[in-house]
Structure 1
Amino acid sequence: MSSSALSTPAYRRFLIGSTITTHGLWILRLSLGWQAWQLTESEFFVAAVAFAAYFPVAVLGPVFGAYADRWDRRRAAQTFNVLNIGVTAGLFALSALGLMTPAALFLLALSFGVFSGGYTPMRLALMANLVPSMQLASAVGLGAVSFNVARVIGPVLGGYIIKFFGLAPAFAISTATFLGMAWVLWDLKLQPVARELERQIGLARLLRDGVSYTLRHPAIRYYLVLVLIGATFGRALFELMAPYADEVFQRGSDGMSLLISSFGVGAVAGGFWVARNKDLKQLRTSAAICVALAGLLIVAFGFTGNFWLAMLQLPFFGCALTICGVGSQTLTQAVVEEKYRGRVMSLWSVVAFGGVALGSAALGGWAQSIGLTTATVYWGGVAAVLGLATLLWMPRIPNPEVAGAS
């Protein structure tokens, strides 16, 4: 059997639908950030909207992760995807009618975060139902490539849509692309996966067992620390591209879309590297190195006052963060036992999305107080120190081995 997930028809269909939807997601993220900046011209409010969109995933992820080990994952993912379509349609309606306010934007971003809190653990756990275990690393890596190709194309499309047509059409197109995944999930054919979980076990017990398993597993603990640092420090900066584009570089929405796309070029390269990498030990080492490297690149970005120099730096930043984030997800998916997969991957989501939410809020508040570029330099310095600490910690972690492998 081929080790490439593309040889599995169900995964190919899932990847196509996911790619379409992810383009809409990046248009939506750019639109939310730009709408927040237009309404208030406040770094803190831009960060607050990002917090609203991400933090519910951290709060609700463990609950839905427990149910991902019990529910029909495809149907649950379909339900939450449809609810998010309703949110994006609401954003379009308010924007088109000229009724958008900061409060409405915040509440809709929060609603999107709540429904994403249900969708994300279902989608992550669903991966094991799409491909055989030997194709799992390929599936995660190709998913990252798809996500980051959309990170390149989506913001460029979004920037030009906003510039020439306005925010309402951007929200409308996001809504339309979300329908792609709804179509895919409608009758997706999944592989049967044995899940040794008693239906009568209560939610509290499911959550407790999942957290206990994670804390007892030294490798999974380490991978979660890697993604926590990358999300809190690296992704937090990424969420503040709107004030960077407009306030620091004086480039407006066009500049914002180009900065995000430049980051995405490097992220695509990082995703391809993870997808092709078969050596889990090498992947772990690379992910740890990239955490420290990302911190240094944040410092360099803070010192950069030139737009085109920033455009040259961001691909390296995107590559480093992707190897860290996608690498940690691949490693976690590889070593976790199947009966705990939904709960452990929900905890991964808690760390990844919660880190972005808390980090962007903290960096946005700090930037409001001492200035965006100064805050960025200090932020990157802390990230670099923490990244170095993870490198020193790594020799104590057992070598990664696929769960169930003999």
Structure 2
Amino acid sequence: MPTYWKKAFAIIFSGQIFSILTSSMVQFSIIWHLTETTESAVVLTIAGLVAFLPQAILGPFIGVWLDRWNRKFTMIAADSTIAAFSLVLGLYYYFGEPSLGFVYLILMARSMATAFHAPAFQAAIPLIAPQEQLTRVAGWHQMVFSVSTVIGPALGIAVYSAASLGMVLFLDVVGALIASLMLLSVKINQPKAEAKQAPHFISEFKLGWQAFIKVKPIVIITIATTIFSVVFMPLAMLFPFMTLSHFERGGYSASLIEAVFSIGMILGGLLLSVAASKWQDITYICGSLVLIGLTCIGSGVISDEAFIVFAILSFLMGAAAPFFNGPYMAMIQKAYEPAMLGRVISLVTSLMLLASPIGLLLAGPIVDQYGVQVWFLWSGVASVLTGIFLLSQFKRLQVNAKPLEGLG
């Protein structure tokens, strides 16, 4: 048993490499296709909106079902559904050019399936790994994600250029199949339900909300990062637009930026997995936010001839990201009972995702009118201020040690 959890994660992450790789290829290829064919930030932000909004709206309610259902088979079903919609869109691109409305519809459907997959995966991790290893596992997860995404954009643009977007979408079906087969070979025990839990949807939803608000440090981080997400989340859609509009470069330069960002994430995840226990999780989170903010500010002021500087800043931004994502999720996994994790993780994810549509609706018109650098600059300022705010709040909480117990 002491070594089984490592073997289980080795199998799971091996499958996820293929799934995340092909999903990364699809995501970048679709964004680049829309960028290249429309040259409109508004189109990109609408695509981001339909990709985020279903997860944000459904998330709090999905958590109830996740805590009822078998988490392994939920992940397999969600992955298979995402692949099915990729197949449908791939067939349309293979035989012709679908309308923007149809592309938005498929992105929305994929988002609904992702709303089940992502929290189910995170809620399953504490059922396999010991609690003291959760931050380290988070570092591994960031590495696996980054290894897949580092070559995803480059491979996606290569397949897109050599064949078609339809071929990229067909490969996503293969990736989902491999990930599902790997998951089938791993045993994941279901958590025991609460002894007196009422089998009623509203009652179970309320239990999840009540559990969430009892842990004040998690509530503080979630509120702060939800506000921060309004300005930061649109950047994921705007990186290719920055390359195209500000630096006037093509698809391979855009994929290079995605690659160096992901290489930074790989090294950051590796460093986090090694240094997981050296400092408190909140220290990593605040440091990550400040560094991300500084790199965004730098990106917002550099000239259109400083593409190499932008690549370096993207690398540093990527290296900082695991030190926020990993410790934050580990804090949540440590703070709540496994039987409640599906609801809590879905709720937290939705609160942050609900900020994304606001940011995306603001970003499109602002970027089209004032330029993409303006958004980079002010998202950086917001990130730095969020990191400083969280650090000050947790220093105040340390006067009373109890709220921080078990949160690393």
Question: Same fold per TM (> 0.5)?
Answer: yes
Amino acid at match of 1:213: A
Q: What is the distance in 1 between the residues matched to 2:119 and 2:203?
A: 18
In the TM superposition, what are the counterparts of 1:37-76 in structure 2 within 5 Å? 37-76=35-74
- Report the count of equivalent residues: 402
Return the offset for 1:198. 4.9
Q: How far apart, in 1, do the equivalents of 2:309 and 2:164 lie?
A: 28
Aligned to 1:324: 324
Q: How does 1:97-108 map to 2 (within 5 A)?
A: 97-108=95-106
- Whole-Å separation in 2 of the counterparts to 1:6 and 1:44: 48
Q: 1:24 aligns with which of 22, 25, 28?
A: 22
Q: How does 1:225-374 map to 2 (within 5 A)?
A: 225=223, 227-228=225-226, 231-279=229-277, 281-304=279-302, 305=304, 306-374=306-374
Unmatched tracts of structure 1, length 5 or more: none
Distance in 2 of aligned mates of 1:73 and 1:345: 13
- Residues 234-282 of structure 1: per-residue CA shift (max 9 Å, x gap): 3421221221122222222111111111111111122123222343853
TM-superposed deviation, 1:139: 2.3
- Quote the residue 1:127 is aligned against: 125
Asked if 1:378 corresponds to 2:378, the answer is: yes
Q: Deviations over 1:163-216 (max 9, x none)?
A: 222322222222221212221233431245333255643111111221222122
The answer to which of 57-66 and 189-198 deviates more is 189-198
Deviation per CA, 1:65-84, whole angstroms, max 9, x where unpaired?
A: 11221111112222111111
Report the TM-score, using the length of structure 2 for normalisation.
Answer: 0.91
CA 1:53–1:125: 2 relative to 1, 3 Å: same
Higher mean alpha-carbon deviation, 108-117 vs 330-339, is at 330-339
Task: Tell me which amino acid in the other structure corresponds to 1:392.
Answer: S
Instruction: Tell me whether 370-379 or 101-110 shows the greater mean CA deviation.
Output: 370-379
Q: In structure 1, what residue type is equivalent to 2:73? A: R
8 Å Cα contact 1:245-1:256 kept in structure 2: yes
Whichever residue aligns with residue 82 of structure 1, its letter is S
Deviation at 1:7, TM superposition (A): 5.3
Deviation at 1:24, TM superposition (A): 1.0
Moved more, 54-63 or 188-197: 188-197
The 2-side partners of 1:94 and 1:197 are apart by 50
The answer to whether the Cα contact below 8 Å between 1:55 and 1:358 also exists between their aligned partners in 2 is no
Trace 1:200-219 onto structure 2 (pairs within 5 A).
200-219=198-217
CA distance in 2, matches of 1:383, 1:97: 44
Percent identity, aligned pairs only?
20
Q: How does 1:107-256 map to 2 (within 5 A)?
A: 107-191=105-189, 193-196=191-194, 198=196, 200-225=198-223, 227-228=225-226, 231-256=229-254
Name the CA distance, whole Å, in 1 between partners of 2:195 and 2:242. Answer: 48
The Cα RMSD (Å) is 2.3
Alpha-carbon spacing, 1:6–1:297, altered in 2? closer, same or farther (3 Å): farther
Judged with a 3 Å threshold, the aligned counterparts in structure 2 of structure 1 residues 182 and 294 are, in CA distance, closer, same or farther, namely: same
TM-score, L = length of structure 1: 0.91
Q: Is the 8 A contact 2:288 2:320 kept in 1?
A: yes
- Alpha carbons of structure 1 residues 340 and 244: separation in structure 2 relative to 1, 3 Å: same
Shift of 1:316: 0.9
SS of the residue corresponding to residue 186 of structure 2 reads coil
1:33 maps to which residue?
A: 31
- Kindly indicate whether the alpha-carbon contact (under 8 Å) linking 1:83 and 1:115 is maintained by their aligned counterparts in 2: yes
| CA distance in structure 2 between the aligned counterparts of 1:197 and 1:345, rounded to whole angstroms | 21
> Match of 1:401?
405
Are the aligned partners of 2:127 and 2:338 in contact in 1 as well (CA < 8 Å)?
A: no
Q: Which moved more, 1:191-200 or 1:347-356?
A: 191-200
